[in-house]
Chain A
Amino acid sequence: MSRIGVFVCHCGMNIAKTVRIDDVVEFAGELPGVVVAEGYKFMCSTPGQELIQEKIKECNLDGVIVAACSPLMHEKTFRKVAEGAGLNQYLLTIVNIREQCSWVIEDEDEATSKAKALINGAVYRTHLLAPLESRFIDVNPEAMVVGGGIAGIQAALELAATGKKVYLVEKSPTIGGHMAQFDKTFPTLDCSACILTPKMDAVLQNPNIDLMTSCEVTEVKGFVGNFDVTVKQKARYVDHDKCNGCLSCMEKCPGRGLSEFDEGLDKRKSIYIPFPQAVPQKPVIDRETCIYFKKGKCRVCEQVCEQDAIDFEQEDTYRDITVGAIIAATGYGLMDTTPLVQYGYGKYPGVYNALEVERLFNSTGPTEGKVVMKDGKEPESIAILHCIGSRDTNYHEYCSRVCCMYALKFAHLFKEKTSADVYQLYIDMRCFGKGYEEFYNRLLEENVKFVRGKAARVTDVTVSPDEEGKLIVEVEDTLSSQFMRLPVDMVVLSPAMEAQADAGEVARTFNIGVDKDNFFREKHPKLDPLSTTTDGVFLAGACQGPKDIPDTVAQAIGAAAEALTIVGKEQLELEAATVYVDPYVCCGCQNCVRVCTYSAPSFDVEKNVSEINEALCKGCGLCAASCPTGAIIARHFTNDQFIGEMEGLMEF
């Protein structure tokens, strides 16, 4: 290769502020084989792209180097540019002089020199590049949504509405998620059930949605376009094909367990549907509390079931499903506040967490919507404590984003349902969404007492007669610098929204990343917020970070659109950069067979060499790196290309 063009981007001042572009362009222009070198303000813009295409044609270039930002950002953009000018897209080299130079080096000379070194290496490399042809694979048109909360429900409905088949996998016996537990939703105060349950029903009725409750994804193999997913159907001990949902079993069951749906505030039967509006309306048996499973006798449900649907012998089963795209919508967990002993959760019966309070307000909840405490009395005074475990460097540095708003909602509902004094103990009121500030202003009018300060402690140690029998919340009002002791009957904690306890495991199953707080990591916080680093796996809802219902739904619809960009196509273009084996150099150690995640290499015992099935190869290069003899050659990343690049770098 001998006719190379080098195009150096200023990236506004991003690169130009520390890298002397003119110097770099002049230097590049004199390198062997370089016939044209140009700088431009924004190479990725239309005029920038046109400049490159013009020069490719005018100078008859057979290699292009773009010195700009990270290839993750714009390699695809510039490949299209090359292709558009009739140059094979793999004859392009991106040199990252932004993230690797200007953004990390302050000294102008040093940054300029490094940019030159990188370009020098790239010229060596580009001389050795070979044109490659992209591969195309058939795409499985079906999609999977994992998690049946509002995010998963919305995403599944959107995809199904486009005519695509969707598998909606939910680990619990019903869909609905946390939203089903809420009574009202902020700031509009519309009833959560009224807006959620029709969607749950729509899922059930939609012929394009295969609803899989009590199911968990145990393994994901393959890659974008063709994921092979193994789903475990946990034993329900009720054959849902036979069950007609009459629920007479539930009526007669003598076993009792704590209701997960009511946050343990109430009991449920051992054969149960989690709540009256659950979808599907078919029960499961809780093995832990079922009298038959515990004591070997009972089977009342079996006797009353006219459908013969009870099956105590049922076992977990596994189903293999192939889908083109996956949406992870696995939601969040509420932080356990028991370890924060200063707030007395679990110690004082008057201390509640937010989800428990949601159930207290709810007409289907343990108190049928009446706000009464565990002793049956209505609270006369209530303190709502914000930021328990959020915005706290001892636990979670981040803001959980919904607590300020639901605390306002709680205050409103407390005022509506009781005559109690309500205190808000807040650090800052964060009311950023549409209609949120207005809701806050409304609450300011509702005689709610706002104390700007984070509660320090909840105690039952009294110092004066009027504190007798109360819980004392100690707080500094930072507006008046007054230390306060608030005697109240009820304390409501707003615990942090956390990543699900098994988020790490789930992330590994789907081969996606997590951030420092264990929430799933998006590919790019601004430009690719619903994608993950694994192509074809998308994110929706609070599994990606704390968010409220409007944001979750918006994200779910977006994730469905993202998934559609894959399952809507018949074929997908794959990187041409696959590997092959040089049989004369292969020593037969089979490291490649052992390290490959995609089962692309296999070992030919007769010939004592490995072979690659290129249809399975993703071009990750793991095998090439673990090959002791260098027998595996990764196209586009050959040893010669690497060594060439390094030689160029080491001339500096």
Chain B
Amino acid sequence: MKDIENRLKQEAKRLLESGEAEVVLAYGRGYDEKHPMPYAAKAVSDVDNIVFDEYCTFNMTRYLTEYPLGTKIAIAVKSCDSRTLIVLMQEEKVKREDIVILGIPYRDMIDSKTGKAIDNSTACNLPNPVLYDILLGDEVTERDDGSPYDVLKELEEMELDVRWEFWSKEFSKCIRCYACRKACPMCYCDPCFIDQSQPRWADKSPSLESNLMFHLTRFYHLAGRCIDCGECSRACPVDIPLHLFHKKVSKECEEMFDQVSGMSLDDKQVMVDFKMEDSDEILL
């Protein structure tokens, strides 16, 4: 852990010094040990503030789209985060040549909210980054954790009305703080459809109907793009298990289009790409 932090600092320093990166997106100290923060080191003098520990769960790719295209950025990524990078590159929101990817080979981060290890029931939890330029440590060995979709079993076995009950209850809790949207690296739309007034797609104030309109549309917009980092659920102040819905959509996409999001730069997003062999199942 400390090794990774040291390597991270070392690389950040080198990249900033040489001008290879204008900014290094990593993690910094927070108000206590269990709460580190997203951190952008812009100068060599900032590098000392960089930390890395098991609480550094943030998907830093979320900040990439805040920078103008062409900015040279170095970014620390764990496994899911690197998959986000791949999707953002497919969507041409960042360019491969502008990014130095500092891969962190580490799994089983700890969710500071629950104190529990993050496993593949709440995130993808692959052992190593899928794409990186520099790996800040030795590769983590593979381990059989089962499928990241195993957690869906219970939901899938529910009768329809029970499942509806379950989600109605969950979505009724939503206070529309949009923390999920803010945490999501794929939610870069400005303005988000829900903030528009012409036309007004749904009420702004929380109600089950308008909450559903927001969340279901968001799930749909993330279909085939979500890379299962679980940031939405961790960000949610009222503990809605958003990741379960995302996992279910991802699973369906995978079954239908035989493609796992964010695994290869050569893939195209399933929802805007048409292949002859695409499933016709959804057609009447």
Contacts and interface: CB of A to CB of B under 8 A. Distances in A.
A628 interface: yes
A594 B191 contact: no
Contacts of A590: 91-92
Given A589-B91, A639-B199, A594 B272 contact: yes
A643 B199 contact: yes
Contacts of A594: 268-269, 272-273
Interface in B250-284: 268-269, 271-274, 276
A640 interface: yes
A629 B193 contact: yes
A588 B271 CA distance: 16
Nearest to A642: B199
Interface string B65-104: 0000100000000000000000000011100000000000
Contact of B189 (A603, A628, A639): A628
A605 B94 CA distance: 12
Contacts of B271: 626
Contacts of A459: none
A628 B193 contact: yes
B272 A591 contact: yes
Contacts of B196: 585, 629-630
Interface string A634-652: 0000011001000000000
Contacts of B201: 630
A628 B93 CA distance: 15
Nearest to B92: A590
B91 to A, nearest CB: 6
A587 interface: yes
B169 interface: no
A588 B198 CA distance: 19
B246 to A, nearest CB: 16
Contacts of B272: 591, 594-595, 626
A535 B273 CA distance: 24
A628 B187 CA distance: 10
Contacts of A57: none
A135 interface: no
Contacts of A626: 271-272
Contacts of A252: none
Nearest to B188: A587
A626 B193 CA distance: 13
Interface in B165-216: 188-193, 196, 198-199, 201
A221 to B, nearest CB: 15
A595 B271 CA distance: 9
Contact of A629 (B191, B269, B274): B191
B221 interface: yes
A417 interface: no
A603 B91 CA distance: 12
Interface residues of B, number: 22
Interface majority SS (helix, strand, loop, mixed), chain B: loop
A629 B196 CA distance: 9
Nearest to A584: B191
A508 interface: yes
Contacts of B91: 589-590
Interface in A597-611: 603, 605, 608
A260 B177 CA distance: 72
Nearest to A640: B199
Given A587-B188, A595-B272, A639-B199, A605 B69 contact: yes
Given A605-B69, A629-B196, A639-B199, A587 B190 contact: yes
A630 B93 CA distance: 19
Contacts of A591: 272
A619 to B, nearest CB: 19
Nearest to A585: B191
A265 to B, nearest CB: 36
A590 B273 CA distance: 12
Nearest to B222: A628
B213 to A, nearest CB: 13
A56 B192 CA distance: 43
Contacts of B199: 630, 639-640, 643
A508 B188 contact: no
Nearest to A639: B199
Contacts of A588: 93
A629 B189 contact: yes
Nearest to A606: B69
A496 B31 CA distance: 79
Contacts of B273: 594
Interface in A126-146: none
A630 B201 CA distance: 10
A603 to B, nearest CB: 8
Most A Cβ at <10 Å: residue of B192, B199, B201? B199
A629 B192 CA distance: 6
A530 B198 CA distance: 44
Contacts of B192: 629
Contact of A587 (B69, B189, B268, B269): B189
A130 to B, nearest CB: 15
A611 to B, nearest CB: 15
Interface string A284-322: 000000000000000000000000000000000000000
Given A594-B268, A640-B199, A630 B92 contact: no
Contacts of B269: 594
Contacts of B189: 587, 589, 628-629
A640 B197 CA distance: 11
Nearest to A505: B276
Interface string A469-513: 000000000000000000000000000000000000000100000
Interface string A570-593: 000000000000000101111100
Contacts of A629: 189, 191-193, 196
B102 to A, nearest CB: 26
Nearest to A592: B272
Interface in A499-542: 508
Contact of B193 (A595, A608, A630): A630
Nearest to A626: B272
B191 to A, nearest CB: 6
Given A629-B189, A629-B196, 15 more contacts: A508-B276, A585-B191, A587-B190, A589-B93, A591-B272, A594-B272, A595-B272, A603-B92, A605-B69, A608-B69, A626-B271, A629-B193, A630-B199, A630-B201, A643-B199
In order of increasing CB-CB distance, the 9 nearest A-B pairs are A587-B189, A594-B272, A628-B221, A639-B199, A591-B272, A595-B272, A629-B189, A643-B199, A629-B193
10 contacts: A587-B190, A589-B189, A590-B91, A594-B269, A626-B271, A629-B189, A629-B192, A629-B193, A640-B198, A643-B199
